Amino acid sequence: MKYELNLEQLCPATFAFHVIGGKWNLPILAHLSEGEGIRYNELKRRLNGITGTTLTNCLKDLIENGIVHREQYNEIPPRVEYSLTLSGRELVPLIEAIVAWGERNIHTIERK
């Protein structure tokens, strides 16, 4: 079966892949999908190799795209937690489907 897509149909897909396509976006979304909320330092500890600047920038982008919610609590010391928005939670089964597809098809890639 051949799929034919025109540019108008690809625009929403291009947006979706832009949102999740960054090097760290999928790992961030995976950790956020595990629970209700996670603090910045805990998230950074779980993402082996990410810099603080990169994590901050990725979170800002995901917040701007409506995927991640930032909750600041007026406590001393200040506490901030990150969680998925409804839109972000909608991505979880789609990402799981992409992972499953990758697992089924990774062996088809020719290694050079």
pTM of the model: 0.80
Do 56 and 41 contact (CB within 8 A), yes or no? no
Q: Distance between CA atoms of 55 and 52, rounded to whole angstroms?
A: 5
Q: What is the pLDDT of residues 98-110, one digit of tens each?
A: 889 989 998 887 6
Of 7-16, 19-28, 39-48, 67-76, the poorest mean pLDDT is in 7-16
Domain boundaries, the chain: 16-106
Asked: is 16-106 a CATH 1.20.120.1200 domain? The reply is no
Q: Supply 95's token pair.
A: 């990402």
